[in-house]
Chains A and B, each alone.
Chain A
Amino acid sequence: MSFLNKIKTFQGGVHPEEYKELTENLPFEIMPDPKRVIVPLSQHIGAPASVKVKKKDEVKKGQLLADQEGFISSPIYSPVSGKVVDVHLEPTASGFPQNSIVIDSIESEEEIRFEQLDPKTITAEEIRERVRLAGIVGQGGAAFPTYVKLTPPADKNIDCVILNGCECEPYLTRDYRFMLERSEDLITGLKLIMKALGVSKGAIGIEDNKPKAIEKLTKLCMNEENISVVSLKTKYPQGAEKMLIKAVLNREVPPGKLPLDVGVVIQNIGTALAINDAVCKGEPQITAALTVSGFGIKQPKNLIVKVGTPLSDVLDYCGGVKDNAAKVVVGGPMMGVAQYDFSAPVMKATSGILILTESEINAHEETPCLRCGKCIEVCPLNLTPTKLARYSQLEKLEEAEQLGITVCMECGTCAFVCPANIPLVQWIRLGKKRVLQIQRERKAS
């Protein structure tokens, strides 16, 4: 028993089939520039960037296309050299259209980069400024502007940075490949983050289904006193920030609070590398690394793709979809978004494109709730999903609020185990949206 207790993890969670073997041994390929890129103005949480180019402008690779608008926002750079065709509404992977800059690319070696900085002598202020300028956003999926995370309020006492190498979503192997192929850069990136925050303690949390990555990074960190590699139990959603903090540091983030409140900043593996590239190579964030996987694609791949590449181009590059493909999801299978229009582009924080077949998706008829309580058992945040969904359905928003509907992070664990196939997360999302609106109105009045 003593051995079992040592595996660090959290309470609740599920074990979905992983399917990582489809891509875990495939090194990254760099996809050639597409003929046309569609660059949405809002690839991050916060205000959309404000356009700085106009129709028919010639742009160079790495040129500023749209600038940051307000504190929580992020600038956007041209992923290719070419000519601006138009700025208008285009479909995006979120399912809703967005104002996007459409650029026809031309072949050109020209490229604009920032000045390269030495990671050894750089100051905290310089790191933050570079991260802001380079338009780096969190690669974990939410796309929160990274420089905001590196600028915590003065009253918060941060003492630890955790790099999230869990990659708990099935299929995805992007972070795993990064950890194997760019381990040194990753450590440099982590050190830059620690320096920017003035923190002396760093940790890399990795699920124990990636022994090679754990081994490699542990070896690299042998001489690093301040950085530890922590092996965690393989369980979904181990990579959610609250779960990760609980597992690595045994600290609980209270409901409604942020990791900042318990002195922790979490960054994704991809984000740390983007920070490394921005500082050491002077690259703005114009590429996205992603896993193209699932049993419905002919050649699963790990790819480095230009931001703005249409999904259809990526699928073609991977040999196209098989005839039995039934669903295309951007992101992981648990939290990703189903697609209906393949002209939607890859964005800064896109982590994967999954082409699933009928046998991989769960599209059964909904039946009444069995009151089995499985969803309550697995909810990592100790919520009561079945009640929340019901309250949301009946528009009993006050009750839903009291039961903590706004705490839900929509990880999908409850809907995954539900034997009655109730779309719990969809109902909870709806209720959450309504409760948040009521809370905003209450605050305003």
Chain B
Amino acid sequence: METTIIIAILTMGGLGFIFAGGLAFADKKLRVEENPLIAKVNDVLPGANCGACGRAGCYDFAVNVVEGTIGVNGCPVGGDETAREIAEILGVEAGSTTKMVPRILCRGGSSEAVTKMADYFGPLSCAAMDLVAGGDKLCYYGCLGGGDCVKACPFDAMIMNDDNIPEVIEELCTGCGICVSACPRDIIEMHPIDRQVFVFCKNLDDPKRAKEVCSVACIGCGICARKSDGGIEMVDNLAVINYDLLDESKIPFDKCRTHAIGYLNGREKHLEEVEAEEGN
């Protein structure tokens, strides 16, 4: 009995000793030198592995930052704070970044957009709907309402509103831009968070059809462009804003019959906000 126990202890102990020796040897001889900065940078990153920086996850980003192939402010999710911390670790200037948020440039929800004379049977996914004659709305350019962007958002920062158009919850949004690539219609664009004026339409149809398919479409009348001094250009029946030249005071927002061009939260609310800020 006792010998059995002793044999077992000796065998297991011996094996353990041999393996430990192997590990010790591997640690000395096969060690891969890694820049200690990479681990430090990796620690300050958000760790969401969302891929918004264009790299395969946070660790890959850290490697690239340390190697200098991507800027310290390359992580849109971490924003300024992370950029500053990385800059501290690496001993460089951080510079400043403006937070970018996605803007949904279509307001043609279920109550505005005209639907086709047909019912759609099939998976509720924008990309799948887009394959079947472009979904059930007549407009070939607008939001399909299938919620692919909502499903794609890794931060739960998007919801579908009552009108079946997605909305961004700015507090939760990290600006990773994954929703932009999830949208098969390209109606989501990244813009600086303080930008307020947008054309909320992507429809390129001629005025007649644009009017028919949606009550809030840009019908390409060009009134906004004529008075804008180059701030707005008409491209293929659609008003396109050149933000470098835009002078908000020159845009006749009231003249836009379909309210396709306007402020993010409506004009009144915008003016209130400006007033409140000035009051402070």
Interface of A with B (CB < 8 Å)?
Answer: 88-89, 94-97, 337-341, 363, 366, 393, 423, 426-427, 429-430, 433-434
Indicate which residue in B116, B123, B140 contacts A96 across the interface (CB closer than 8 Å): B140
B132 interface contact, C-beta 8 A: yes
Indicate which residue in A89, A338, A363, A430 contacts B127 across the interface (CB closer than 8 Å): A430
Do B133 and A337 have beta carbons less than 8 Å apart? yes
Do A393 and B123 have beta carbons less than 8 Å apart? yes
Do A427 and B133 have beta carbons less than 8 Å apart? no
Could you tell me which residues of chain B, from 118 to 165, have a CB within 8 Å of some CB in chain A? 118, 121-123, 125, 127-128, 131-134, 140
Question: Which residues on the B side are within 8 Å of A97 (C-beta)?
Answer: 140
Q: A96-B133, A97-B140, A423-B123 are in contact. List 11 more A-B contacts (CB 8 A).
A: A89-B205, A94-B133, A337-B133, A340-B116, A340-B118, A340-B133, A366-B123, A426-B122, A430-B125, A430-B128, A430-B131
Question: Which residues on the A side are within 8 Å of B133 (C-beta)?
Answer: 94-96, 337-338, 340
Question: Which residues on the B side are within 8 Å of A95 (C-beta)?
Answer: 132-134
Q: Map CB proximity to A onto B193-235 as digits: 1 under 8 Å, 0 otherwise.
A: 0000000000001100100000000000000000000000000
Chosen A-B contacts, 14 in total, with CB atoms closer than 8 Å, are A95-B132, A95-B134, A96-B133, A96-B134, A338-B133, A339-B118, A340-B117, A423-B128, A426-B122, A426-B128, A426-B131, A426-B132, A430-B125, A433-B131
Question: Which residues on the B side are within 8 Å of A366 (C-beta)?
Answer: 123
Do A429 and B131 have beta carbons less than 8 Å apart? yes
* Known pairs A96-B133, A96-B140, A337-B133; A426 contacts B117 (CB<8 A): no
Question: Which residues on the B side are within 8 Å of A339 (C-beta)?
Answer: 118
How far apart are the CA atoms of A72 and B126 in the complex, in Å? 31
Closest 5 CB pairs of A and B: A95-B133, A340-B118, A340-B116, A423-B122, A430-B128
How far apart are the CA atoms of A393 and B123 in the complex, in Å? 9
How far apart are the CA atoms of A433 and B130 in the complex, in Å? 12
Indicate which residue in B117, B121, B123, B205 contacts A341 across the interface (CB closer than 8 Å): B117
How far apart are the CA atoms of A429 and B125 in the complex, in Å? 13
Question: Which residues on the A side are within 8 Å of B123 (C-beta)?
Answer: 366, 393, 423, 426-427
Do A338 and B118 have beta carbons less than 8 Å apart? yes
Q: Which residue of A lies closest to B119 (CB)?
A: A363
Do B134 and A88 have beta carbons less than 8 Å apart? no
Question: Which residues on the A side are within 8 Å of B117 (C-beta)?
Answer: 340-341
Question: Which residues on the A side are within 8 Å of B140 (C-beta)?
Answer: 96-97
Q: Which residue of A lies closest to B118 (CB)?
A: A340
How far apart are the CA atoms of A339 and B133 in the complex, in Å? 8
A252 shortest CB reach to chain B, Å: 30
Q: Which residue of A lies closest to B121 (CB)?
A: A363
Q: Which residue of B lies closest to A97 (CB)?
A: B140
A394 shortest CB reach to chain B, Å: 11
How far apart are the CA atoms of A159 and B132 in the complex, in Å? 39
How far apart are the CA atoms of A89 and B237 in the complex, in Å? 13
The winner among B116, B123, B127, B134 for most chain A CB atoms within 10 A is B123
B159 shortest CB reach to chain A, Å: 21
How far apart are the CA atoms of A175 and B121 in the complex, in Å? 31
How far apart are the CA atoms of A89 and B212 in the complex, in Å? 14
Question: Which residues on the B side are within 8 Å of A429 (C-beta)?
Answer: 131
How far apart are the CA atoms of A337 and B131 in the complex, in Å? 11
Q: Which residue of A lies closest to B152 (CB)?
A: A395
How far apart are the CA atoms of A97 and B123 in the complex, in Å? 23
* Known pairs A426-B122, A430-B128; A341 contacts B116 (CB<8 A): yes
How far apart are the CA atoms of A153 and B140 in the complex, in Å? 39
A188 shortest CB reach to chain B, Å: 39
Question: Which residues on the A side are within 8 Å of B131 (C-beta)?
Answer: 426, 429-430, 433
How far apart are the CA atoms of A338 and B121 in the complex, in Å? 11
A301 shortest CB reach to chain B, Å: 24
B207 shortest CB reach to chain A, Å: 12
A78 shortest CB reach to chain B, Å: 24
Question: Which residues on the B side are within 8 Å of A341 (C-beta)?
Answer: 116-117
How far apart are the CA atoms of A341 and B121 in the complex, in Å? 17
How far apart are the CA atoms of A94 and B118 in the complex, in Å? 15
Q: Which residue of B lies closest to A363 (CB)?
A: B121
How far apart are the CA atoms of A33 and B35 in the complex, in Å? 78
How far apart are the CA atoms of A363 and B140 in the complex, in Å? 25
Q: Which residue of B lies closest to A95 (CB)?
A: B133
How far apart are the CA atoms of A177 and B206 in the complex, in Å? 43
B219 shortest CB reach to chain A, Å: 15
How far apart are the CA atoms of A363 and B127 in the complex, in Å? 21
Q: Which residue of A lies closest to B115 (CB)?
A: A340
How far apart are the CA atoms of A221 and B41 in the complex, in Å? 80
How far apart are the CA atoms of A97 and B210 in the complex, in Å? 14
Q: Which residue of B lies closest to A327 (CB)?
A: B118
How far apart are the CA atoms of A429 and B133 in the complex, in Å? 13
Question: Which residues on the A side are within 8 Å of B209 (C-beta)?
Answer: 89
How far apart are the CA atoms of A352 and B184 in the complex, in Å? 31
Question: Which residues on the A side are within 8 Å of B125 (C-beta)?
Answer: 393, 430
How far apart are the CA atoms of A339 and B117 in the complex, in Å? 9
Question: Which residues on the B side are within 8 Å of A427 (C-beta)?
Answer: 123, 128
How far apart are the CA atoms of A427 and B124 in the complex, in Å? 11
Q: Map CB proximity to A onto B170-209 as digits: 1 under 8 Å, 0 otherwise.
A: 0000000000000000000000000000000000011001
How far apart are the CA atoms of A96 and B139 in the complex, in Å? 11
How far apart are the CA atoms of A427 and B127 in the complex, in Å? 10
B236 shortest CB reach to chain A, Å: 11
Q: Which residue of B lies closest to A422 (CB)?
A: B123
